[in-house]
Amino acid sequence: GSDAGDERDLVGRHVVVSAGGTREPLDPVRFLGNRSSGRQGVAIAEAALERGARVTLVGANLAVPAPPGADLVPVETAAQLRDAVRAAAKDADVVVMAAAVADFRPVNPSGAKIKKTADGAVPTIELVETVDVLAELARDRLRAGQVVVGFAAETGDERGTVLEHGRAKALRKGADLLVVNAVGEGLGFGTPDNEVTVLDAEGRPVATARGSKRDVAHAVWDAVRPLV
Ligand code: CTP
Ligand code: CA
């Protein structure tokens, strides 16, 4: 609402938020990663704390500090994130998957640093898909009545608009809410401002918000609150 955060409407609730970007090792010093700073997920965690929740923050390589008051569980990889989120979700009322989770990881990370060879041969890196943590949480419901929330950064393309892609993803994931973030044109990764549409499980828009990541975070909690 306009007085974001002045209602302590999450007192007594435990929320789990994943934030940041996972890193999948190629060798002891290199990884496949992404540009997620964790800012939006950290703002989600901060807003939940302001509203009185107990917050577990599963932080993957955060470029920003975790909010004081959150229980931080630091992770690196998608597999570690999955384990940490599922462990914390066992007694959570809400799980928000704001992390950018790798879709693929190297099958066999090298135990030693990959070296150039004299013959100029280039390594081929075989990848395997990671587990979709959000879809799995939505399917398993680790606690009865648990609300599961996903994020999706989308761009429009020749196959559909941002909202069409978001709707298809909402239907595929089975989460209660999907926060669709239009990226490009100065919005999204690494920028202070954000524009989102919150979709329900059927892909119907239930809220929109534009502003600081804090404003967006409170708009997300406003949309979650009726479900918990
Ligand atoms: N997600 C997840 N586990 C994965 C990949 C994604 O839990 N292995 C979650 C993200 O945390 C986010 C949501 O799924 O909440 C959407 O992520 P996104 O990358 O947009 O969706 P994908 O299903 O991976 O589809 P694609 O990247 O192909 O668009
Ligand atoms: Ca993905």
Confirm or reject: Cβ of 178 under 6 Å from ligand 1: no
Q: How do residues 127-137 score in pLDDT, each as one tens digit?
A: 999 999 999 99
61 assigned to active site:
no
Confirm or reject: Cβ of 24 under 6 Å from ligand 1: no
**Run of H or E including 24:** strand 24-27
Q: Identify the residue whose tokens are 């990959």.
A: 114
Residue 194 binned pLDDT confidence (cut-offs 50, 70, 90): confident
Residue 191 binned pLDDT confidence (cut-offs 50, 70, 90): low
Residue 1 binned pLDDT confidence (cut-offs 50, 70, 90): very low
Question: Which ipTM score applies to this complex?
Answer: 0.99
Picking from 68, 47, 98, the residue whose alpha carbon sits closest to that of residue 219 is 47
What is the Cα Rg of the chain in Å? 18
Q: Cα(78) to centroid of ligand 2, in Å?
A: 11
Report how far residue 211's alpha carbon sits from residue 97's, in angstroms, rounded to the nearest whole number. 20
Residue 53: per-residue pLDDT: 98
Residue 188 binned pLDDT confidence (cut-offs 50, 70, 90): low
What residues have CB less than 8 Å from 204, skipping those under 6 apart? none
| Annotated binding-site residue? 113 | yes
In 3-state terms, what secondary structure has residue 40?
Answer: helix
Confirm or reject: Cβ of 132 under 6 Å from ligand 1: yes
Q: Cα(129) to centroid of ligand 2, in Å?
A: 10
Backbone angles phi, psi at 136, to 5 degrees: -70, -40
Ligand 1: residue whose CA is nearest its atom 8: 132
Ligand 1 atom nearest 151 alpha carbon: 15
| Annotated binding-site residue? 213 | no
Q: How do residues 98-123 score in pLDDT, each as one tens digit?
A: 999 999 999 999 999 999 999 999 99
Q: Cα(67) to centroid of ligand 1, in Å?
A: 24
Residues, Cβ < 5 Å to ion ligand 2 = 103
Q: How do residues 81-103 score in pLDDT, each as one tens digit?
A: 999 999 999 999 999 999 999 99
Confirm or reject: Cβ of 136 under 6 Å from ligand 1: no
For residue 164, the one-letter residue type is E
Ligand 1: residue whose CA is nearest its atom 28: 103
Ligand 1: residue whose CA is nearest its atom 14: 134
Confirm or reject: Cβ of 97 under 6 Å from ligand 1: yes
